[in-house]
Structure 1
Amino acid sequence: MILNENYQLANGVDIPKLGLGTWFIDNDDAAQAVEDAVKIGYRHIDTAQAYGNEQGIGQGIKNSGVNREDLFITTKLAAEVKSYEEAVSAIDQSLEALGLEYIDMMIIHSPQPWADFTGEDRFFEGNREAWQALEEAYQAGKLRAIGVSNFEKEDLDNILDHCKVKPMVNQVLAHISNTPFDLIAYTQEQGILVEAYSPIAHGELFKNKEVEAIAEKYGVSIPQLSIRYTLQLDLLPLPKTANPDHMENNAGVDFTISEEDMEVLKKAERIEDYGEANDMPVFGWKLKK
């Protein structure tokens, strides 16, 4: 069962192969979502300062009744944090909000502040400063692993060329019909695990008849097919939901997509409209590229 399987990060830390994404889950609902997920068998919870639900996530951890060391909790430095001093403070703020003595992994949410996501400035210096703060927190035992999110090759190289500790993950938008194969390959060549957020394409894959037909062929749901697709690319999927039925369905991926069908899915027609998510920089930017 996928919920019992792990990847191993470059520093030897185990990370569960399937995580629960919590974007768009209100702080008031976050504790229940964590409790439900843990009851189903999830041990990997992904949040962020920008989600505004770290306090609720922390309460859910306390309420879950599971030993802290059996859970893997990820949070993210706000994309706007681009100085050493701000990052040091933000790390401690997340520890306090979550009510934890340590965080399993903390990552830089974006190489650019969201308001500048499509701009020319890659904020190289600011990212190096934020990374230094993460490195020091890692070495101090506040964080068990550190990584990045939404980093392109040039952003990764900026860190790799100056770091003492290499990033352990790069969390990117990756799903059937929009899979950044070159970035994934480059990241994996550096020994960095790629995590896939929005593996179900913010629900847009439900509209793809070809994907629907392949899901029916395997007797699975479109979310199950989508999550399995990312796993077979050696990615770590982070489907987001507060619905326990969806959590359970998302974990039912104990099947194998044939190589032939994987090739079809890799070439699926590109999504050109993410609906309500188009306003989010990561979705709108992907459309413009």
Structure 2
Amino acid sequence: MAVKGSTKGMPILGYIACCLERDLNSSNVRPAVARYLTAGGRHVMTAPGYGNEQAIGQGIRDSGIPREEIWVTTALDPHGVPADNIREWAAAQIDSSLQRLNVDYADDIYLHWGVAVTRQNRPELANVTEEMNLELYRGLLDAQTAGKIRHIGVGLHTQRELEYLINSTGVMPEIMYAWITPFMPEKQIAYAMWARSQGMALFGWGPFNWQRLDEPAELEAHRSITNELADKYNTTPLRIILRWYLDLGIAMATSMLKPSWLEEDLNCLRTPLTAEDRARLESVKWGCHKTDQIQPLPGCMDA
């Protein structure tokens, strides 16, 4: 997948060591990463808050795959950010991540948690202001200049917040991480497409988070469609959603702890959905207010 400024491109289907306890456990993560890489996968994603960066690095070494062939992603998390000397604090956080991963550079580090989303969904981060967030972004730019990061991403930022970062620094992030599924409100999809129109590559996450919604009728409609298509393509409902991402050119990652999951996830690259089947997946949409049960959507918050 093309990323601005990248010669090797970001692999479109990756492994993420998040977010259930089994997926965070380092004793599970290390062998899973090695299996994923030796099977042909090349994109490994984590974050400091997941507590398994060291296991990720160990899995990379265990695989024997050359570092330059692997796309390594982690995050700059605002938890604990001080009111002053923010860029220096960010530099220390980035150095710590690289040390735990045992790599000289990250292919991508993304700035996690925009201000509007955290104020609604992460009260422990209510002290983080837009100016502090801007300094964190500048800290990422410093690390990129120093050669410690190849590309910069953002996650859970509204369009207005992104425009503030871009206008204040003159630098657009190269990748946007967003919760995207076929069932998303149109405003969230439009927000993601706006980011793409600005030149950002899209990375989607949470393909099955919609199952946490307390909306029995809509859940049944979603399950009915994905199950029917899974039967048609002789696969699982999750891989139908994965294929939807890939057909639209949206990169994403899943947890591939079991060898059978790994093989099935990688095999979903082989069979595209028809246009009619993609339309069926997109035929049942949530309202913005319903997604707040799980997490506020930046696209809806700009409305």
TM range (shorter): 0.7 to 0.9
SS of the aligned residue for 1:145 comes to strand
Give the superposition deviation at 1:163: 2.2
Cα pair 1:84 1:132 within 8 Å, conserved: yes
Letter of the 1:187 partner, please give it.
A
In 2, Cα distance between equivalents of 1:243 and 1:182: 35
Q: Cα deviations across residues 83-102 of structure 1 (Å, max 9, x unaligned)?
A: 32221110111011111111
In 2, Cα distance between equivalents of 1:282 and 1:236: 25
Deviates more, 1:184-193 or 1:210-219: 210-219
Give the superposition deviation at 1:103: 1.0
- Give the structure 2 partner of residue 37 of structure 1: 36
C-alpha distance 247-103 of structure 1, shift in aligned 2 (>3 A): same
Cα pair 1:224 1:251 within 8 Å, conserved: no
- Give the structure 2 partner of residue 4 of structure 1: none
Give the superposition deviation at 1:269: 4.8
- Give the structure 1 partner of residue 5 of structure 2: 11
C-alpha distance 170-191 of structure 1, shift in aligned 2 (>3 A): same
Q: 2:105 aligns with which of 84, 90, 102?
A: 102
Deviates more, 1:182-191 or 1:203-212: 203-212
Q: Cα deviations across residues 148-196 of structure 1 (Å, max 9, x unaligned)?
A: 1112211211111122432011111112322621111110011001101
In 2, Cα distance between equivalents of 1:203 and 1:55: 31
- Give the structure 1 partner of residue 95 of structure 2: 92
Q: Gaps (5+ residues) in structure 2?
A: 213-218
In 1, Cα distance between equivalents of 2:191 and 2:116: 20
C-alpha distance 228-138 of structure 1, shift in aligned 2 (>3 A): same
Percent identity over the alignment is: 24
In 1, Cα distance between equivalents of 2:30 and 2:241: 26
TM-score between both structures, scaled by the size of structure 2: 0.82
In 2, Cα distance between equivalents of 1:282 and 1:159: 28
C-alpha distance 262-187 of structure 1, shift in aligned 2 (>3 A): same
Number of equivalences: 278
Cα pair 1:20 1:238 within 8 Å, conserved: yes
C-alpha distance 185-113 of structure 1, shift in aligned 2 (>3 A): closer
C-alpha distance 187-111 of structure 1, shift in aligned 2 (>3 A): same
Letter of the 2:168 partner, please give it.
H
In 1, Cα distance between equivalents of 2:95 and 2:63: 23
Deviates more, 1:120-129 or 1:257-266: 120-129
Question: Is structure 2 residue 165 aligned with structure 1 residue 159?
Answer: yes
- Give the structure 1 partner of residue 216 of structure 2: none
Q: Gaps (5+ residues) in structure 1?
A: 1-6
Q: 1:240 aligns with which of 240, 255, 275?
A: 255
In 1, Cα distance between equivalents of 2:157 and 2:96: 23
RMSD: 2.9
- Give the structure 2 partner of residue 195 of structure 1: 203
Give the superposition deviation at 1:28: 2.8
Letter of the 2:93 partner, please give it.
A
Give the superposition deviation at 1:122: 7.6
SS of the aligned residue for 2:131 comes to helix
Give the superposition deviation at 1:213: 0.8
Q: Cα deviations across residues 217-270 of structure 1 (Å, max 9, x unaligned)?
A: 222221211001111222111122322211221112211212222122112254
In 2, Cα distance between equivalents of 1:171 and 1:30: 22
In 2, Cα distance between equivalents of 1:152 and 1:201: 20
TM-score between both structures, scaled by the size of structure 1: 0.86
Cα pair 1:45 1:72 within 8 Å, conserved: yes
Q: 1:219 aligns with which of 234, 244, 254?
A: 234
Question: Is structure 2 residue 72 aligned with structure 1 residue 73?
Answer: yes
Deviates more, 1:151-160 or 1:45-54: 151-160
Cα pair 1:21 1:197 within 8 Å, conserved: no
In 2, Cα distance between equivalents of 1:219 and 1:105: 35
Cα pair 1:107 1:146 within 8 Å, conserved: yes
In 2, Cα distance between equivalents of 1:214 and 1:47: 30
In 2, Cα distance between equivalents of 1:166 and 1:103: 18
C-alpha distance 283-43 of structure 1, shift in aligned 2 (>3 A): same
